[in-house]
Amino acid sequence: MKKYGEMNVNKYREMKDSRFKKGLRIIKREGLLSFTYRFFYYLNRCFLRIASPVVINLIPRRYFYYKNKRLSYFLHKKNLTWTNERAIEVPIIMDYVKNSVTKKILEVGAVLPHYYPKFKHDVLDKFEKSKGIINEDVVNFKPKERYDLIISISTLEHVGFDDDIKDSEGIIKALNNLKENCLKKNGKMIITLPLNYNKYVDKYIYTNQLSFDEEHFFKRVGFNKWKETSKEKVKQLKYNSERLNANAILVGLIEK
């Protein structure tokens, strides 16, 4: 089955279509077998959403380590974080936010507003329509005032890959623009990326072309249990394109 970015589609625009229209499109584009698989997966997701409040209360408190610091897994019914990489991405990012002495923070990709609606910060998202969100392209965005901290949770891998106009260098252009035009001197960026979702991003990561000052790799080692590992040990871990879940992620840091 092809990934979204390998088709001539924009998955963010298609997400706004009705379920009936989505179903017809899948049958036409991928066939009846794929539609049947996706339909049963959709029913499973519905069941998990209903069961989430109960399941979350039953799961014992668990921890993982990032840079030798113990953090709690993030369990939330929204987007079923207890089943995917959000369980570690959110606490890693929020640890930087909570320890930041500045209030000038930019988030690229509207993720945290779904979990922390009272957290006040600027949010840049090209597609998500909501009050206060800046609907501009991260590749060209030039704020009036630069930021001390820029954060992004599993977003930049979509730039140029799931857009209307495909650009294999989308993530490089996005990171360069954020560093050169959005980040203050002595500022910091923390970016999380799922591995083996975007083949171009993977190439840049494995050939050290994204210019991160620090890289931390995590792999799934059980039912949504994660452990930090080496770059070499995540290369062969596949992205679950049907369930839209990663089996490995990168946490990249850039300081200016």
Contact in structure between 252 and 215 (CB atoms under 8 Å): yes
Domain boundary among 12, 38, 54: 54
* Domain around 78: 62-255
Q: 26 and 138: one domain?
A: no
H/E segment holding residue 187: strand 183-194
Which of 5-9, 66-70, 125-129, 158-162 comes out lowest in average pLDDT? 5-9
3-state secondary structure of 164: coil
Q: 175 and 246: one domain?
A: yes
3-state secondary structure of 104: coil
Q: 49 and 66: one domain?
A: no
3-state secondary structure of 227: strand
> What is the number of other CB atoms lying within 10 angstroms of the CB of residue 76?
15
- What pTM did the predictor assign? 0.84
> For a pLDDT cut of 90, what percent of the chain falls above it?
62
Contacts of 12 (CB under 8 A, 6+ apart): 126, 127, 158, 162
* β-strands 225-229, 183-194 pairing: unpaired
Q: 97 and 33: one domain?
A: no
How many Å is the Cα radius of gyration of the chain?
Answer: 18
pLDDT tens for 19-69 read 667 767 767 777 777 777 667 767 767 777 787 888 888 888 899 999 999
Q: 204 and 249: one domain?
A: yes
The count of domains in the chain is: 2
Q: 242 and 124: one domain?
A: yes
Query: How many alpha carbons fall within 13 Å on the CB side of residue 20?
Result: 0
